[in-house]
Amino acid sequence: MMVASVLAGESLRDAQLRLVPALPVADRALALEIANGCLRNLRLLQAAAQALLAKQPDARVYALLLCGLYQCSFLHLPAHAAVSASVGACPLLGRSFAKGLVNAVLRRFVREGCALPRDLDPEITYSYPRWMREMLEEDYGREKAAQIMAAGNERAPMFLRVELDRISLEDYCARLDAAGFAYKTGEPRGLIELQEPVSTTQLPLFAEGLVSVQDKAAQCAAPLLELSAGLSVLDCCCAPGGKSAHILASGFEVQLTAADADPKRLYSAAQNLVRLKRLPPEVLSACSPEAGLPERYAGKNVSLRLQDGTALSPAEGLYDRILLDAPCSGSGVIRRHPDIKWLRRRADITALTELQSLILDAAFACLKPGGIMLYTTCSVFKAENERQINSFLHRQQGQAELLPFSLLGQNSGMIQRLPGQEDADGFFYARLRRIS
């Protein structure tokens, strides 16, 4: 059902929230693995299905067949079990009439050795839509584009960020040792990479707000702000709140304004900040996930604001530091969200770059002279990143300059991290300083 929902246009996250709670607890992890794996390898599985079907069945049966092919091809499960489970799912989907078809197609696939097509077309080999493959090749060339697509199909590791202002890295690692976790630490300080992903319910001190799940690439953002005590900081597209929390855990007492244009997403950021003991629980008491947060909340060190980034105004205040984690294609996090490949369209990139440009200009107008603005995306497309920043600098001639930093063995004012570099997500960073 999750795969069918994505193919019908629903995000995988929304489909999970809607469908997974109805499953037995013991089946949930496998269901998520099948859905994610099927979407990672969709074009390849569709090519296999096309060779086995005289005509394509209805959407639910087709999605079920793709999931069955995935189980037979990629999971270390007995083939007969995968076939039996797929046939048994037909009545649950209201498709009892399709049991014979599902059984025949999957059994034939197994008899033929579960052989997937060996096609030189990269759209099938890597299961990427044509427009996305073309954009990657335009930006990086064919060889590098193939590497990016291959990395996008890998399973992402699980990174943790320890709240170092409240517990030492050594003390938290001792808790992991006692619980039998295998892990390694890294940079930036406070980062831990688990050898095997686990549910947050299994993480020591997660409920107590002493650790968060955050990719390594995202953890590199807050340190680039060069925080110090007394600074005013704006996180202007803050949801789901991970980078806001990292700013507050810097060890410096800053005044943070966390803003977002979507009330439901702002609520999700507030939930995270409440769990991490950065906000009092009362913040959530008069609102709900469905309605979102009210327009404003003002606390001692943290303020929440429902704010369209394009409407930011210096009349409402200037900031020493601004983090703009801009709305983007998500092309750098496909390994975590494979549905991005099938839900995004090339026209979305044009709309997103226009929005990014508007937010960049509006946010920069709120930066104090000498202040630092960090622009980030979880994209690999140059239109959203390098070309976006070059256009911004052209518009702001004499007002803005790049402020170099060191990352990934480079020293530059803007750096592109590709998916899989140091095991992290694809991510772009540009650090800007207001001259006057």
Domain holding 208: CATH number?
3.30.70.1170
CATH number, position 234: 3.40.50.150
pLDDT digits (tens, 9 = 90+) for 55-114: 888 899 999 999 999 999 998 788 888 899 999 989 988 988 989 999 999 999 999 888
Q: Is residue 56 part of a domain?
A: yes
Q: Which long-range contacts (CB under 8 A, 24 or more apart) does 66-72 make?
A: 66/3, 66/38, 66/42, 67/3, 67/34, 67/35, 67/38, 68/102, 68/105, 68/106, 68/109, 69/45, 69/106, 69/109, 70/34, 70/37, 70/38, 70/41, 70/45, 71/34, 72/106, 72/109, 72/110, 72/114
- The reply to whether 224 and 195 lie within a common domain is no
In a domain, 421, yes or no: yes
Residue 116 domain-assigned (yes or no): no
CA distances from 250 to 162, 166, 172, 344 (A): 11, 10, 17, 35
Q: Check whether residue 222 and residue 342 sit in a common domain.
A: yes
Rounded-to-10 torsion of CA 352, 358, 360, 362: -150
Same-domain pairing of 349 and 283:
yes
Query: What is the bridge-based pairing of β-strands 302-306 and 255-260?
Result: parallel
**What is the reported pLDDT for 115?**
85
Question: What CATH number has the domain bearing residue 6?
Answer: 1.10.940.10
57 shares its domain with 18: yes
In this prediction, the residues of the chain whose per-residue pLDDT falls under 70 are none
Instruction: Count up the domains in the chain and report the number.
Output: 4
Residue 117 resides in a domain:
no
- Of these residues, 67, 72, 90, 378, which one is catalytic? 378
Say if 11 falls within a structural domain.
Answer: yes
Same domain, 209 and 315: no
Q: Does some domain include residue 184?
A: yes
Whether residues 145 and 246 share a domain: the answer is no
Question: Residue 315: which domain range?
Answer: 216-434
In a domain, 401, yes or no: yes
- 86, 111, 136: which is the final residue of a domain? 111
Whether 417 and 270 map to the same domain: the answer is: yes
- Whole-number Cα distances in Å, 279 to 248, 323, 384: 11, 20, 33
Q: Is-contact 244 238, C-beta < 8 A?
A: yes
Q: Say if residue 374 is in the same domain as residue 230.
A: yes
pLDDT at 213: 97
Q: What is the pLDDT of residue 380?
A: 98
Residue finishing a domain among 177, 197, 213: 213
pLDDT at position 198: 93
Residues 90, 139 share a domain? no
**Same structural domain for residues 291 and 183?**
no
Residue 378 a catalytic site member: yes
**Pairwise CA distance, residues 196 & 192, whole Å:** 12
Query: Based on the domain organization, do 278 and 383 belong to the same domain?
Result: yes
Tokens coding 99: 């049991």
Residues 145 and 162 in one domain: no
